[in-house]
A and B are shown apart, each in its own frame.
Chain A
């Protein structure tokens, strides 16, 4: 049960955090100037956005959940199963960011999910 709960946090919180950061970055517009000064200015502007902080907090929760699960499960089990974030990311990108997901990408995600199921089965 703890394993399922921690995987839930890794996948949902980690991916949710990336989506929040992505939303914050998009609201700032595309980066054209890659000089250190411009990048620093861009990062500081990003830190003023609430979505950025929500995202960082969620990604931190995902990272600590990863540490927790690595304390009692094999790495060769944890890392492949966390690939489920590809599916969570696609659903989140579609629902939260309004992105269009191509048919081939859905196909790839379905194959990842089949692989995750097999790895999960191997760990029971």
Chain B
């Protein structure tokens, strides 16, 4: 990847979009699905009413839009930045999910869960630091 101020700026911008929009998509899907009702009580006769409620939820569509935005940003950044640079950066998404869940959805996150999220971020970071191909490029 050739380094330049413009390239750095658009790379950081794309990583920002990835790290914010993927978790935001999950949070919005979560918010929308809580309004649909618990799957633990669904029966076969609920199929169409549940599908209708899902499709008529603004939060669900916003969540899908966020995930599509994330996907486009991810595809775009891979066209100029190395995969081995991009992938570790996305490990921050797990921390962002926890933060958004707490501040947007009001979920209570125990210290144990924060620890788990931190360990997952570390693991994803390690995976991302490995070469995209096990042979050839290193």
Interface residues on A, range: 35 or more
Complex: chain A residue closest to B110, CB-CB: A122
Interface SS, A side: helix
Q: How many residues of B contact A (CB 8 A)?
A: 47
The 6 lowest CB-CB distance pairs between A and B, nearest first, are: A108-B126, A115-B119, A111-B123, A118-B116, A112-B123, A115-B120
Residues of chain A whose beta carbon lies under 8 Å from any beta carbon of chain B: 2, 6, 34, 66-72, 74-80, 83, 86, 99-102, 104-105, 107-123
Contact A122 B134 (CB under 8 A): no
Q: Could you list some 13 contacts between A and B, CB below 8 A?
A: A2-B40, A71-B36, A75-B27, A75-B30, A80-B117, A83-B123, A86-B124, A99-B134, A108-B126, A111-B126, A117-B116, A118-B112, A119-B117
Contact B113 A76 (CB under 8 A): yes
Bound-complex Cα distance A2 to B38 (A)? 11
Contact B120 A119 (CB under 8 A): yes
Contact B131 A102 (CB under 8 A): yes
Query: Which A residues lie within 8 Å of B26 (CB)?
Result: 70, 75, 78-79
Query: Which A residues lie within 8 Å of B113 (CB)?
Result: 76-77, 80, 118-119, 122-123
What is the CB-to-nearest-CB distance from B97 to chain A, in angstroms, rounded to a whole number? Answer: 5
Complex: chain A residue closest to B36, CB-CB: A71
What is the CB-to-nearest-CB distance from B79 to chain A, in angstroms, rounded to a whole number? Answer: 8
Bound-complex Cα distance A109 to B128 (A)? 10
What is the CB-to-nearest-CB distance from A93 to chain B, in angstroms, rounded to a whole number? Answer: 9
Query: Which B residues lie within 8 Å of A99 (CB)?
Result: 134
